[in-house]
Structure 1
């Protein structure tokens, strides 16, 4: 039996460069395989900021208004009509990807690389894929992951970005007993520090240009923190594994210089499209392995379990929380990486 919902609800909608609005959007009837989820929290991601500030995230350009948001958790109000997915009343995190084939080959066991993949809150294709920064959202039941009772929704709001960090660390292989360097200590970098700590890295060095991100990185497990302009100290780390999460060619340069001979550099920070100045000669002579890392797959299940049992400590990454009525202020705070970590929108108030 269906539930009674209003015909519309508040949502965060990007209309174009510099044009972000909180407005009512129509609530559509769910498809047979869609559950109705009451959103509790949403984390503001860098891509959300790019759609607001630039009208685009990389090559994904806004061509029409789009609801933002893919880092979301909530409670199932109505189970999918086809009987799939969690039952009503279940607290859930969301895996925002919809893998799909396209015109290029990809490994079957790595659906994150499928060329036709869509993501909640993405303008990569047109019509755009709306996100779920809204009071209510119709979501495919296959996206939903039931949360253990021991995991509160506020902490679970970090499940999606923590899965990105978990995937990045996994790309490096076994890190136990190794020296790790994290370049860029924003939310993804800080979460990578937490994942590295849990995975048994013997020494973790975090780098950033600002004090606040370094404070967070230390709180979640970094043994040493360095300013990004201290090139000599970064080069002296000689890390076995480097996680580059700054998304700048300066950060990638630091990552290559900070890696030991034969080390691995995992590039999770998305650099701008086009040619980038990179120390390839140094990577060659040191026989470095440069590894890309893009989104995640089933790591989300491991992240949920690790958050629930307390072995993955991420609480300091959340620095601010705003109700939806103050959503525009939340975005303004989130853009200031010198003062904020992960900024949450609370859709319950």
Structure 2
């Protein structure tokens, strides 16, 4: 086997390509050969700041949770697909916390004690999967539908985040999407925002307007189905849109403020971008006077299976969001590019 090269963060600005020993799977774990891994905003935050929000790096950690690969050895307990199966990874492990904080049973993404691959939220940290060979629990593995290549499936995890966000806009009792015929505004057209555009198009949005400060994300958003784009839009331009549903994907308070202004009266704002902790300077009174519904969106649950099916049957077109693929040996160049939205969308590492 080839050397087990991996991407490990040690501290702010200290990203290393390391060689790890071959993993030794536990009874419920399969041995995987990772094919591709997408660089996420959280990976960039650990590299640039030594933290992602309130998750502060305190020990060396493998990055990466947007990964796909092939099962080399099935889990001994029979919980994984067979050897040779190509799979996507669901990186979450839901569990309650020690205090017994309540959360809805049908929404495991809200489990307060849950972990996520490549996260410093807990100590010891939850190691990620940016490595050529990893051992992961069989319950995390999702068999790829026939005909869906690993390269196309590499976008499934962030597309699931987007799908979950779109479903937060609400579903009709008949199972149809509330987006059927809706006018949709997306603030922030980075990889997640652009994938929100793609999913909203799949789920029936009539009009899709994407807003960003950079031209490159807007180009990608148009390829994914945006019917209109605005670069560095003014407050007046946003206020004139009157969208039925607005998705805030920038993760910045100014984006949320624009989202409130861009929603029609009685409309809905879904907050997808992760805002920094603490007070935010936003004119929240607009939510009252316009009777807006505000909804948060955090990671995803079973949407991964729906995304894989939609990617396989062609109803979800997401490939344009991937703009560059680098061999893992060039991971520093890949991270530099992924952090520059004027030149890139989603950047993949090939292991």
TM bucket normalised to smaller? over 0.9
TM-score (norm 1): 0.97
Alignment deviations for residues 105-161 of structure 1 (CA, whole Å, 9 cap, x no partner): 100000000001000000000010110000001010000000012111111000000
Q: In the alignment, is the contact (CA less than 8 A) between 2:23 and 2:133 conserved in 1?
A: no
1:110 and 1:209 mapped to 2: Cα distance? 34
1:82 and 1:322 mapped to 2: Cα distance? 35
Match of 2:15 in 1: 20
Runs of 4+ in structure 1 off by over 3 angstroms are: none
Secondary structure at the aligned position of 1:327 is classed as helix
- Equivalent residue in structure 1 for 2:103, among 98, 106, 113: 106
1:194 and 1:47 mapped to 2: Cα distance? 22
Match of 1:282 in 2: 286
Q: In the alignment, is the contact (CA less than 8 A) between 2:9 and 2:47 conserved in 1?
A: yes
Match of 2:348 in 1: 344
What runs of 5+ residues in structure 2 fail to find an aligned partner? 171-177
Q: Aligned runs of 1:248-327 on 2, under 5 Å?
A: 248-327=252-331
Pairing 1:225–2:229 present = yes
1:33 and 1:69 mapped to 2: Cα distance? 21
- Tell me by how many angstroms 1:78 deviates: 0.4
- Tell me by how many angstroms 1:339 deviates: 1.1
What runs of 5+ residues in structure 1 fail to find an aligned partner? none
Secondary structure at the aligned position of 2:135 is classed as strand
Q: Aligned runs of 1:183-198 on 2, under 5 Å?
A: 183-198=187-202
1:268 and 1:85 mapped to 2: Cα distance? 31
Please, what is the CA RMSD of the aligned residues? Answer: 0.9
Match of 1:208 in 2: 212
Alignment deviations for residues 274-301 of structure 1 (CA, whole Å, 9 cap, x no partner): 1101111111100111100000000100
2:168 and 2:329 mapped to 1: Cα distance? 39
1:258 and 1:152 mapped to 2: Cα distance? 38
TM-score (norm 2): 0.96
Secondary structure at the aligned position of 1:92 is classed as strand
2:169 and 2:78 mapped to 1: Cα distance? 39
